[in-house]
Structure 1
Amino acid sequence: MTVIWHMTMSLDGFIGDRHDGVDWMFHAGGTPSGLAAEVVANCGAFLCGGRLVEVMSENRPYGGKWSGPVLIYTHKDPATRVVPEFTYVSGDIRDVVADGVKAAGGKDLVVTGGAVPRLALEAGLVDEIVLHLSPVLLGEGTRFYDSPGVSPTRLKVLTSEGLNFRFAVVK
C-alpha cells in the first residue's frame, strides 16, 4: 500500500488554468501512459479537496475508468455535499489520510489536487509522486506545488516514460 500524489501538470508548472479549469488536460495532445494505467489499476481509494468536486461531479475520477471510494477533504459543512456518493471528511490531514488508507483496503491511496497532497506531503504521508507533463503552456493558474517557507523535499526518480515520471519521496 502506497500513498501516491498523482497529477498532470502543464509544462510551465500549473495544475489548473486561471479559472481552476482542467479541460486543457484532456485536449493538450499528451500521450496516454502505461504509468497512468498502472496507478489507476492499483488505486483502492481516491482523496482530493473540495475544489475538484465540481470537475468530478460530471465524471468520476479517471474519466470513469476507475470506481471505488472517493474522499473529499473539506472544511465546509458535509450537508452541502455536491456529490452525495462521495465521502466528505475534515480534520487533521493525518487522520484524513489514515481514513483514505483504510478505505483503500490494502491497495494504493491516490491523493490529487493542490492543497490536499501538499498538506499530506508536508506531514510526511506521501510515499510517491506520479507526474504527467502535458505539452501546453498555461501562463498562469494553480501551481503544482507552492509552499513558501518549507524545507525542500528530496525526490528520487524511480521511472520515467516520455513526459511521465514516478518519484519516491526521500524521507
Structure 2
Amino acid sequence: MGRVLWHVTMSVDGFIAGPDHDMDWVFERPAAPEASTDVVPRVGAILCGRHTYDVGQRDVGKGSGEAFEGEWSGPEFVLTTHPPAEADSGAAGSAGSAGSAGARTFLSGDIGAAVSTAMAAAGDGDLLVLGADVALQCLEAGLVDELLVDLAPLLLGDGVRLYGGPGRERVDLELVEATGTVLRYRVLKA
C-alpha cells in the first residue's frame, strides 16, 4: 500500500499561494529535479481540490497541461461540491483525459472517502495530494504520511500560508530527507 504525500511549492516566507490565491509564480520556474526523479515514479494517483483543478485548467497554455509536464499519467481525482458542467452528474463523473493512461474524476463528500477512493486507484503507488484546502483537510484528518516541500526562491509577502491560522493544531514532523540544510539566496534587484 502506498503513502499519502502532500507535495507543495512554498516561497521562502512560507506562502503556498500569493494574494487572491495567485499561483502564477509556481509556473515561472522549472520544478525541482527531485520531484521528477524521486516523487513522480512512485505516484499512483493524484487528489486535488476544485481550485487547484481550476488553476491547472487556466494555466494549460503555460506548460503541457498535464501533471508534471507530462512525465506522469494516471488517475486524477478532484474533490469538489461544484463539478464543472462537462462532468457527469452524481458523486463521481469523468471529465475527459488527463494523459494517455489517466482519467479525471470529480468526487464530492468526505475527505476520508475521497482519499480511500484515490488510494484504491493508486494501487501500490503513492497518492499525491495537491492544493491547500484538500491537503489541509487530509492533514487535519490524520491522513497525510509525508510532506514534501519544494522551496521557491522568492518572497511573496502575502497570500496563503503553508499552515497556520486560528485554531490550527501543532503538527510534529520528522525529517525524512533533505537535499540541503543551508539556503543561500542573492536578492535580485529590479
Note the residue ranges of structure 1 that are not aligned, 5 or more in a row. 164-171
Which aligned pairs between 1:13-24 and structure 2 lie closer than 5 A? 13-24=14-25
The 10-residue stretch of structure 1 (110-119 or 14-23) with the greater mean CA deviation from structure 2: 14-23
Conserved? CA contact 2:32–2:150, under 8 Å: no
User: Aligned residues: percent identity?
Assistant: 39
Matched residue count? 161
Matched, 1:10 2:8: no
Distance in structure 1 (CA, Å) of the matches to 2:6 and 2:32:
18
* Correspondence for 1:119 among 120, 132, 137: 137
Q: Which has the higher strand share?
A: 1
Which ranges of 4 or more aligned residues in structure 1 deviate by more than 3 Å?
Answer: 77-81
- TM-superposed CA distance for 1:117, in Å, is 0.8
RMSD: 2.0
Match of 1:166 in 2: none
In structure 1, the residue matched to 2:26 is 25
CA shift digits 1:73-124 (9 cap, x unpaired): 101146454x922210011111000011011111000001101010011111
Pair 1:134-2:152 in alignment:
yes
Aligned partner of residue 109 in structure 1, secondary structure:
strand
**Are residues 147 and 100 of structure 1, via their aligned partners in 2, closer, same or farther at CA, if it must alter by over 3 Å?**
farther
- Give the 5 Å matches for 1:1-171: 1-28=2-29, 32-57=32-57, 58=60, 59-77=65-83, 79=85, 81=87, 84-85=95-96, 86-162=104-180
TM-score, normalization by structure 1: 0.85
* Aligned partner letter, 2:73: S
Q: Secondary structure at the match of 2:45?
A: strand
TM-superposition CA deviations, 1:126-162 (whole Å, max 9, x none): 1000111111001112222235213211100011013
Quote the offset at 1:60 in angstroms.
1.7
- State the TM-score, normalized to the length of structure 2: 0.77
CA contact (8 A) 2:16 2:159 kept: yes
Distance in 2 (CA, whole Å) between partners of 1:100 and 1:147 is 28
